[in-house]
Amino acid sequence: MMLTLPDVLTPEQLRQCRAALEQAAWQDGRGTAGHVAQRAKDNRQLAHDDPLAVQIGDFIVDCLGANPLFVSAALPLKVLPPRFNRYEGGGTYGNHVDNAIFSVPGTPHRVRSDLSATLFFSDPDEYDGGELVVEDSYGSHSVKLPAGHLILYPGTSLHRVMPVTRGVRFASFFWIQSLVREDSQRSMLFELDQAIQGVTRQLPESPEAVRLTGVYHNLLRHWANT
């Protein structure tokens, strides 16, 4: 399942984060790539322990924790601290699949990458190219969202970032370990949750909504890994 989450950040939150990122100490992004991915990667990133990356990353996680659509779709158990990149001057990242397991820097903890996420900090008209292209069983999907919007997609997906030939593309990217590992099961739970919310809005006293809610939680109880 691929899902766009609009307006994860407010315009003022976005403005403050973007201003800070423009002045950040960017490094060669190949330093964080695996052996195979290094040959495909050409961008710049913030160091994992950069105070600015930590500050904005914590803020993003707090915003997502309060975002009902994110919680419903991702069913997050763990969120890897967000990372940050910038593409410019032809910068690109060729086809790759993300690591299955990521270590949380400075801790003994690990996160399984069930879901990948990209939060855009640049509007589409600020740069040419830079599309996130995700390949799945339904074909190829090209993603270029407004600043403040986030795309959520399965961590198993083959994907790439097209060359940025004009301007600068700022983004945050990170991974989520879900309570429900299987994408098909998460998708069914998400659709059921959205349907329950729709029924509840139209018929607040509906006994069917109560029964459907019971089905949702029993499925979650059956599929969840904690």
pLDDT number for residue 201: 95
Beta strands, E only, the chain: 3-5, 27-28, 41-42, 44-45, 76-79, 83-88, 92-96, 101-103, 110-112, 115-120, 127-129, 132-136, 139-143, 150-154, 158-161, 164-178
Quote the CA–CA distance of 49 and 104 in Å, as a whole number: 11
pLDDT at 226: 81
* 3-178 and 183-223 have identical folds: no
Angle between helix 51-65 and 11-22 (nearest 10): 160
Contact criterion met (CB below 8 Å) for 149 and 5: yes
- Please state which CATH number belongs to domain 183-223: 4.10.860
CA dist 96 to 91, 111, 132, 207, Å? 15, 19, 12, 47
Q: How does pLDDT run across 103-142, given as a tens digit for each residue?
A: 999 999 999 999 999 999 999 999 999 999 999 877 899 9
CB of 84 closer than 8 Å to CB of 21: yes
Radius of gyration of the chain (CA): 18
The model carries a pTM of 0.94
98 is in an annotated binding site: yes
- With 70 as the cut, is the pLDDT of residue 33 above it? no
The pairing of strands 101-103 and 41-42 is: unpaired
Listed by start position, the domains of the chain span 3-178, 183-223
**CATH superfamily, region 3-178:** q2cbj1_9rhob like domain (2.60.120.620)
Q: Is 159 annotated as a binding residue?
A: yes
Query: Do residues 80 and 117 lie in contact, with contact meaning Cβ atoms separated by under 8 Å?
Result: no
50 is in an annotated binding site: no
Query: Look-up: residue for tokens 């939060």?
Result: 119
Q: Is 222 annotated as a binding residue?
A: no
pLDDT at residue 157, as a whole number: 96
